[in-house]
Amino acid sequence: MSSLSNIWWWWEASNQKDQFTRSLLTLTLVVLVIFWYAWLLRKSRNQNPPLPPGPRPLPLVGNLPFLDPELHTYFAKLARTYGPIFKLQLGNKVGVIVSSPSLAKEVLKDKDTTFANRDPPIAGRVTTYGGIDIVWSPYGPQWRLLRKVCVREMLGNASLEAVYSHRRHEVRRTISYIYSNSGSPVNVGEQTFLTVLNLITNMLWGGTIKGEKQHSLGVEFRQVVGEMTELLGKPNVSDFYPSLARFDLQGVERDMKALFLRLDQIFDSVIDHRLKMDEQGIKECHDFLHFLLKLKDESDSQTPFTMLHLKALLMDMVVGGTDTTTNTVEWAMAEMMNKQETMRKVQEELDRVVGGESIVEESHLPKLHYLAAVMKEVLRLHPVLPLLVPHCPSSSCTVGGYTVPKGARVFVNVWTIHRDPSIWESPSTFEPERFLNDRWDYSGNDFNYFPFGSGRRICAGTAMAERTVMYALASLLHSFNWSLPEGAAEVDLSEKFGIVLKAATPLLAIPTSRLPDKALYL
């Protein structure tokens, strides 16, 4: 009996021990499973989505050797292979290209604050006094001040109305010049460039410099601005490899500094002249320079508006406002030269609104609905900045399910979106009639059509660009009939990519007067 009791005690103790062990093991396994699951969950939350797809880069140089000079069409071709968001390795920098309305909305509206900064190229920093202008300045209080100065004060409707006489003077002078060359070929882009340049400088300081000195300044500006825009559109090794920037291997920085100093000296000369006028009590000048100098004197220390900020805005107006406006006018004329029916409709509208015994005034522009449709269609087919100004995210974020790393250059291919066959019927055809409804505008709220960009960094000069292009086109088409030189069947509409989208072949056209009274040309 004693032995049986010992065996029973051992069996019970062993059984209880095994049960405890089993319970302990089970509890340990449950705890381990919980920790493992929590680790996986945390890892999945912390793991960023992958980078966008794209062509395989080469060591060191990345995708740079394969870039086509016509970037807008090259990016459109890559989008057909890799989708509406893809990446390129540009030297030491990552480029991300988006080319669909939904992704453009993510970048420019939904995550606007994150993408509100820029990555200014070396040439851009040189021309804008270290990148302190409205285009390249980082998002913050200083940029908001510059934006307010441009949009609400300097380029607002009231301010533009105040300097209308300067615009009118330059446009009428151009009409008179073309009239004196009736029957002879006119380089439309060249003549428009000079007109727009004189028009802008006249608005900037038209009350300061007059007569022959004003004309000589216009000629010098034309040369300098042309060389500047060429350098701004030139690929620069220093931008792709910042560690090599100090060597300036291509001489871009050196050449741009030389051009910059020429313009800076002109700005100093004009400003000094204006300050002397103020000292002498001459107060009849009402132009942008008058306003900017007043603003400089009244600025506070928290967000100062210095003389350098003033000159940076002048540089934006001169360099940024000339080629963009000029090319839009030239594209419009080129498209209408190839589609004479459109030109006839514009001229019929001008005859109804303006008449044959008056000249075009800006007050006529709101009534020129068909001409407005022509301008919108031109900006759809030939957006001034086909890739906009590149955006630079201030932190890594997700776009379209992919990670866009901090500091990447983000290009929005508005050219591709404006020619998307899923959005536009006959997307490559010039048809202004598609814009005769009130659906489309330049506000940037519809990401099927946003030629001036969208969000915080939308173009500050939209109102002035619209007035200037419409006024120039209306005046050219009201005053003259236009034909191609003998032997030319149609205008070559090939594009040339650069900082702005240009015509590959300059437009030559022959004007003939269409108004009965010669006095309307003088």
Higher pLDDT, 361 or 17: 361
In a domain, 165, yes or no: yes
Q: Which residues of 288-310 are buried (b: 16+ CB within 10 A; e: fewer)?
A: bbbbbbebeeebeeeeebeeebb
In a domain, 10, yes or no: no
In a domain, 13, yes or no: no
- Whether the CB-CB separation of 139 and 456 falls below 8 Å is answered with yes
* pLDDT the model gives residue 137: 94
What mean pLDDT comes out for the span 149-175?
A: 87
Structure tokens that stand for 520 in this block: 């309307």
What mean pLDDT comes out for the span 157-164?
A: 86
For residue 281, is it left (φ>0), alpha (ψ between -120 and 50) or beta?
left
List pLDDT tens digits, range 230-272.
888 788 999 999 999 999 999 999 999 999 999 999 899 989 9
The rounded Cα 488 to chain-centroid distance in angstroms is: 33
Asked whether the predicted pLDDT for residue 30 surpasses 70, the reply is: no
What mean pLDDT comes out for the span 176-184?
A: 94
**Minimum mean pLDDT among 28-42, 139-153, 467-481: which range?**
28-42
Q: How far apart are CA 410 and CA 390, in angstroms?
A: 5
Number of alpha carbons in the 13 Å side-chain half-sphere of residue 99: 30
Q: How far apart are CA 64 and CA 77, in angstroms?
A: 16
Q: Coil, helix or strand for 481? A: strand
Asked whether the predicted pLDDT for residue 41 surpasses 90, the reply is: no
Asked whether the predicted pLDDT for residue 131 surpasses 80, the reply is: yes
pTM: 0.88
Q: Which of 100, 99, 94, 114 is nearest to 455 (CA)?
A: 114
Q: Which of 198, 210, 233, 173 is nearest to 384 (CA)?
A: 233
Range of the domain at 207: 64-521
The DSSP secondary-structure symbol of 364 reads G
The chain-wide mean pLDDT, for the chain, equals: 89
Asked whether the predicted pLDDT for residue 119 surpasses 60, the reply is: yes
CATH (domain of 385): 1.10.630.10
List pLDDT tens digits, range 80-118.
999 999 999 999 999 999 999 999 999 999 999 999 999
How many Cβ atoms from other residues are within 10 Å of residue 65's Cβ? 8
What mean pLDDT comes out for the span 287-316?
A: 89
Q: Which of 288, 265, 222, 296 is nearest to 461 (CA)?
A: 288
Asked whether the predicted pLDDT for residue 38 surpasses 70, the reply is: no
What mean pLDDT comes out for the span 47-62?
A: 93
In a domain, 33, yes or no: no
What phi and psi, each to the nearest 5 degrees, are found at residue 132? -105, 15
* pLDDT the model gives residue 82: 98
Tell me the pLDDT band of 10, cut-offs 50, 70 and 90: very low
Per-position DSSP letters for 386-429, written without gaps between them: TT-SPBB-SS-EEETTEEE-TT-EEEE-HHHHHT-TTTSSSTTS
Asked whether the predicted pLDDT for residue 374 surpasses 70, the reply is: yes
Tell me the pLDDT band of 379, cut-offs 50, 70 and 90: very high
SS3 content of the chain, % helix, strand, coil (to 5): 60, 10, 35
- CA angle at residue 273 from 271 to 275, to 5 degrees? 70
- Whether the CB-CB separation of 73 and 106 falls below 8 Å is answered with no
What mean pLDDT comes out for the span 324-338?
A: 96
* pLDDT the model gives residue 18: 62
In a domain, 23, yes or no: no
Contacts 24+ apart (CB under 8 A), 362-366: 362/164, 362/167, 362/168, 362/467, 362/471, 364/474, 365/467, 365/470, 365/471, 365/474
Report the number of distinct structural domains present in the chain: 1
Asked whether the predicted pLDDT for residue 122 surpasses 50, the reply is: yes
- Whether the CB-CB separation of 327 and 497 falls below 8 Å is answered with no
Q: How far apart are CA 159 and CA 292, in angstroms?
A: 12
* pLDDT the model gives residue 8: 46
Torsion of CA 214, 216, 217, 220, to 10 degrees: 160
Tell me the pLDDT band of 7, cut-offs 50, 70 and 90: very low
What mean pLDDT comes out for the span 486-495?
A: 90
- Whether the CB-CB separation of 412 and 458 falls below 8 Å is answered with no
What mean pLDDT comes out for the span 306-328?
A: 92
In a domain, 28, yes or no: no
- Residues constituting the chain: 522
Q: CB under 8 Å to 514, separation ≥6 — which residues?
A: 347, 478, 479, 480, 481
Amino acid at 146: L
In a domain, 516, yes or no: yes
Q: Which of 201, 468, 162, 181 is nearest to 315 (CA)?
A: 201
The DSSP secondary-structure symbol of 162 reads H
In a domain, 144, yes or no: yes
- Whether the CB-CB separation of 309 and 183 falls below 8 Å is answered with no
Asked whether the predicted pLDDT for residue 156 surpasses 90, the reply is: no
* pLDDT the model gives residue 25: 61
Q: How far apart are CA 503 and CA 189, in angstroms?
A: 9
Asked whether the predicted pLDDT for residue 4 surpasses 50, the reply is: no
- Whether the CB-CB separation of 94 and 408 falls below 8 Å is answered with yes
* pLDDT the model gives residue 40: 56
Amino acid at 496: K
